[in-house]
């Protein structure tokens, strides 16, 4: 079995993404950012918790210079493969939150975080996609240091996270068991 054999193909508009079984499959929360994503050519974008790379790849297609990071090595590999398939350049790196971009600043940070309150520690790589609202809290403490002067962040929050993300709500969507919000944060 090759890596690609363990992937399914998931569409967003006319683009198909390879998604490994250990990687988050793009869905409503991913699409809420994707549908609102507008970047200027040459902007530096950080796709944090990139999963299969969908958001970074869409930004790169609009001409952004993209760094995509994820704690999950399968996700990093998927993001690289999908970028290659889509003939765009992204710099995909593995690591915890801002660790792989320690002294770097970005015009735009995209983050669709794990936001469910789950007590158990992640057992498999895919589990990092869902659990630990601690990750969102840590992100909120750290993101400003990685934004340029006029930089902004687009973050997903959910009625299930139990965390208040103070910013401008750009869009929202009601789902059967939760409501999800796209929040814009400034420096």
Ligand X SMILES: C[S@@+](CC[C@H](N)C(=O)[O-])C[C@H]1O[C@@H](n2cnc3c(N)ncnc32)[C@H](O)[C@@H]1O
Local structure of residue 112 (DSSP, 8 states) = -
Least Å distance, CB 13 to ligand X, is 14
Pick the closer one to ligand X by CB: 26 or 151: 26
Least Å distance, CB 183 to ligand X, is 14
* Alpha-carbon gap, residue 11 to 132, rounded angstroms: 27
Least Å distance, CB 149 to ligand X, is 25
Say if CB 181 and CB 169 are below 8 A apart. yes
Neighbours of 58 (CB within 10 A): 25
* Alpha-carbon gap, residue 116 to 131, rounded angstroms: 5
Least Å distance, CB 47 to ligand X, is 7
Local structure of residue 142 (DSSP, 8 states) = H
Positions in the binding site for ligand X (CB under 6 A):
24, 26, 30, 49-51, 54-55, 69-72, 75, 96-97, 112-114, 128-129, 135
């Amino acid at each position: 079995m090759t890596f690609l054999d363990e992937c399914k193909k998931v569409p967003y508009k006319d683009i198909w993404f390879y998604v490994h079984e250990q990687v988050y499959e793009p869905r409503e929360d991913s699409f809420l950012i994707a549908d609102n994503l507008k970047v200027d050519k040459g902007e530096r974008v950080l796709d944090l918790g990139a999963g299969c790379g969908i958001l970074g790849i869409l930004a790169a297609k609009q001409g952004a210079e993209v760094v995509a990071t994820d704690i999950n090595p399968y996700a990093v590999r998927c993001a690289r493969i999908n970028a290659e398939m889509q003939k765009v350049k992204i710099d995909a790196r593995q690591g915890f939150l801002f660790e792989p971009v320690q002294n770097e600043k970005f015009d735009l940070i995209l983050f669709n975080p794990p936001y469910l309150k789950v007590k158990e520690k992640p057992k498999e790589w895919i589990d990092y996609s869902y659990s630990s609202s601690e990750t969102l809290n840590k992100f909120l403490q750290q993101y400003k240091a990685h934004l340029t002067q006029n930089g902004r962040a687009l973050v997903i929050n959910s009625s299930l996270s139990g965390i208040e993300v103070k910013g401008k709500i750009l869009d929202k969507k009601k789902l059967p068991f939760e409501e999800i919000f796209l929040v814009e944060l400034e420096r």
